[in-house]
Amino acid sequence: MSIDLMFKKRGMLLLVMVAMILTLFPTSNRVYAISESNLALNPGQTGYPEVTASYTCGCDSAWSTVNGVFSYNENPRDRWTNYGSPNETDWLAIDFGSAKTFNQIKLHIYDDGGGVQPPASYLIQFWNGSGWVDIPNPMKTPVIPEAFLNTVNFDLVTSSRLQVVFTNRSRDTFSGLVELEVFLHLTEADERAVTAMVTQIGQLPIHDAVALSDKSAITAARMAYDQLSASQKSLVTNLSRLTDAEAAIITLETALIPKTKDVTVLSAFSDATGHTITLNYHRFWTQRT
């Protein structure tokens, strides 16, 4: 047997052993960043998400920004630009068709080195039900728009629509976009926090099995949940188990409180001539039956 063949066999054996070891670790409660889906993606280019723009060059298409094709050249030509627009600013908007929760947008900006160049600036807004408002606390990378990928992270937003407003760099240059992606983004710290929370809630008893002795565990789970960020909370898939357990505790505690019965209530007030009537209020505890 050659040395090369021997090492290849040993390498294959090692890979098999690693795979077997990994299967020993439970992963049912894990939350993976790779599972993040692009909320704007619509390869079919019909229905929702729907894309519109204030102006589109006749040789381009707003739909090209959500079809999943990343092409910065002519093969294929797949982009949106406002080339030839009479406007200083133009917008490109996405209608999701229903409310979505997101906190990250990726703009893949087009630059042909000539008439289409990165914009002087861009503004991201969402629809709040009555008008367009700026996304909260945006963090842009890079700060000044550049060709290719530009990422914007911001506080959690829930909305059915968003728009990007581009300000052209000059009168003779226009803005362009190869792709627009929208995510509910999680960091590794988010993943760990959500996974721990889902696990903690999963260890609580179901509603009908809750006992008063479970109150401390239920209270601890609520306190841990309240410490999560808004984006983390949105990914806790078994929150109803916690709320059911809390409701069960309230029911059990209420059952321990003695009932009361009002016996006499006499009340009146001073009249115009100064006569008064005394209030006599009496309550006593009744034994539960």
Q: Are residues 154 and 117 in the same domain?
A: yes
Q: Is the per-residue pLDDT at 15 higher than 60?
A: no
Q: Are residues 167 and 198 in the same domain?
A: no
Q: Are residues 69 and 158 in the same domain?
A: yes
Q: Is the per-residue pLDDT at 29 higher than 50?
A: no
Structure-token pair, residue 77: 């030509």
Band (230; pLDDT cuts 50, 70, 90)? confident
Q: Is the per-residue pLDDT at 69 higher than 60?
A: yes
What's the pLDDT tens digit per position in 137-152? 999 999 999 999 999 9
Q: Are residues 203 and 228 in the same domain?
A: yes
> For residue 108, what is the enclosing H or E element?
strand 89-109
Q: Are residues 176 and 60 in the same domain?
A: yes
> For residue 241, what is the enclosing H or E element?
helix 239-256
In a domain, 39, yes or no: no
Q: Are residues 230 and 169 in the same domain?
A: no
Query: Do the Cβ atoms of 252 and 211 come closer than 8 Å?
Result: yes
Q: Are residues 108 and 88 in the same domain?
A: yes
What's the pLDDT tens digit per position in 233-283? 988 999 999 999 999 999 999 999 876 555 444 444 455 555 554 444 444
What's the pLDDT tens digit per position in 77-129? 999 999 999 999 999 999 999 999 999 999 999 999 999 999 999 999 999 99
Q: Are residues 107 and 206 in the same domain?
A: no
Question: Which residue among 128, 156, 185 closes a domain?
Answer: 185
What is the CATH number for 106? Answer: 2.60.120.260
Question: Which residue among 134, 158, 185 closes a domain?
Answer: 185
Amino acid at 199: T
Band (50; pLDDT cuts 50, 70, 90)? very high
Q: Are residues 172 and 214 in the same domain?
A: no
Neighbouring residues of 278: CB distance < 8 A, sequence distance ≥ 6: 266
Point out which residues pair with 281 in neighbouring strands.
265
Per the structure, the complete domain to which residue 96 belongs is given by 50-185
Q: Are residues 232 and 176 in the same domain?
A: no
Q: How many residues does the chain have?
A: 289
Average pLDDT over all residues of the chain: 85
